[in-house]
């Protein structure tokens, strides 16, 4: 741990808040490096950080820049990252590679969880987690986000598994690995762009403080790992599940035809959906990220 911290740059505001026990929310950076173009990516990231502050918490956007693991970015650093052309998409497997080679990279859910835990941050807000891809029974395409949730003690606030995934199989893998899935004020697992899905909520809690308390008890019992909080997108911003299903099917057919695989699948599908929906999917994506940041800050304040 001491050696790991020597490779990090923790923003002074973040370090002071963690030391004092004040609420801090980790934020990922692949949404900046791979989610949308400049300058929309920087504007979005700035709004999310502002929402965290409005709720009384300190934002800590996490990224790798010039081989240094950044826990919290200055405004200038965030703008520089948003304009980087060749940033890597970093998970557990290649986080150390990017640092060893002096590269720039956006952190996925898994890598952001690792960095947050190193820095003593308990809560992390993202859009949606990765999971089991459709057809994984032959491709074995399962996101590193799932085993990370089983091993790293961070609360991940999302809008559920990305709807391009196999939601039922994703929940099965999480259950097998002992990861609690808590649906916030909902009896079903939200489907990212949509509030509804056929998947019943494994657990339900209606207050941010109750989620913080649940996490604290798990840590006291030394059960290990984190938890997934599934937070439905606001009703005014959602795309109904039946509408979205047709768009997703078309995007997946296109990906199969082009033989897109591995880490390229999710960025391709999200980009293709942006085209198919005429920008509507991106607007919903931004709304749910903002909504998750707000809930994450309230959970962080509940400790």
* Residue ranges in 7-68 assigned as alpha helix (H): 12-20, 30-33, 40-54
Q: List the one residue out of 11, 255, 221, 277 whose CA is nearest residue 121.
A: 11
What is the end-to-end Cα distance of the chain in Å, rounded?
Answer: 24
Q: What distance lies between CA 88 and its chain's CA centroid? A: 16
Active site residue 40: no
Active site residue 162: yes
Q: What beta strand segments (E) does the chain contain? A: 8-10, 24-27, 58-65, 68-71, 88-90, 105-107, 123-125, 155-158, 181-184, 203-205, 227-230
Exactly one of 28, 49, 55, 148 is catalytic; which is it? 28
* 125 phi/psi in degrees, rounded to 5: -110, 135
219 vs 207: CA distance, rounded Å? 19
Query: 92 is written with which tokens?
Result: 């557990």
Exactly one of 89, 122, 162, 263 is catalytic; which is it? 162
Cβ neighbours for 76, distance < 8 A, ≥ 6 positions apart: none
Q: Which helix (H) or strand (E) holds 116?
A: helix 109-119
Could you list the active site residues?
28, 162
């Amino acid at each position: 741990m001491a050696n790991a911290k020597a490779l990090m740059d923790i923003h002074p505001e973040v370090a002071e808040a963690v030391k004092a026990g004040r609420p801090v929310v980790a934020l990922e950076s692949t949404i900046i490096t791979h989610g949308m173009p400049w300058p929309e990516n920087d504007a979005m990231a700035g709004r999310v950080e502002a929402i965290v502050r409005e709720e009384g918490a300190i934002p800590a956007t996490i990224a790798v820049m010039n081989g240094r693991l950044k826990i919290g970015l200055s405004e200038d650093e965030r703008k520089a990252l948003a304009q980087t052309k060749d940033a890597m998409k970093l998970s557990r497997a290649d986080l150390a590679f990017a640092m060893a080679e002096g590269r720039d990279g956006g952190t996925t859910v898994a890598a952001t969880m690792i960095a947050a835990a190193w820095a003593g941050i308990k809560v992390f807000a993202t859009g949606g987690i990765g999971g089991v891809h459709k057809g994984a029974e032959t491709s074995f395409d399962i996101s590193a986000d799932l085993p990370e949730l089983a091993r790293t003690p961070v609360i991940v606030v999302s809008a559920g598994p990305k709807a391009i995934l196999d939601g039922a199989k994703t929940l099965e893998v999480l259950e097998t690995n002992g990861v609690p899935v808590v649906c916030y004020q909902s009896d079903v697992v939200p489907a990212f762009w949509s509030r509804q899905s056929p998947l019943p909520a494994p657990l339900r809690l209606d207050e941010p403080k109750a989620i913080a308390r649940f996490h604290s008890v798990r840590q006291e019992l030394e059960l290990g790992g984190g938890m997934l909080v599934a937070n439905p997108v606001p009703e005014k911003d959602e795309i109904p599940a039946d509408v979205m299903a047709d768009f997703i099917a078309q995007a997946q057919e296109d990906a199969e035809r082009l033989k897109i695989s591995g880490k390229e699948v999710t960025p391709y599908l999200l980009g293709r959906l942006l085209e198919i929906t005429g920008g509507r999917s991106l607007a919903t994506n931004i709304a749910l990220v903002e909504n998750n940041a707000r809930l994450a800050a309230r959970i962080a304040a509940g400790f």
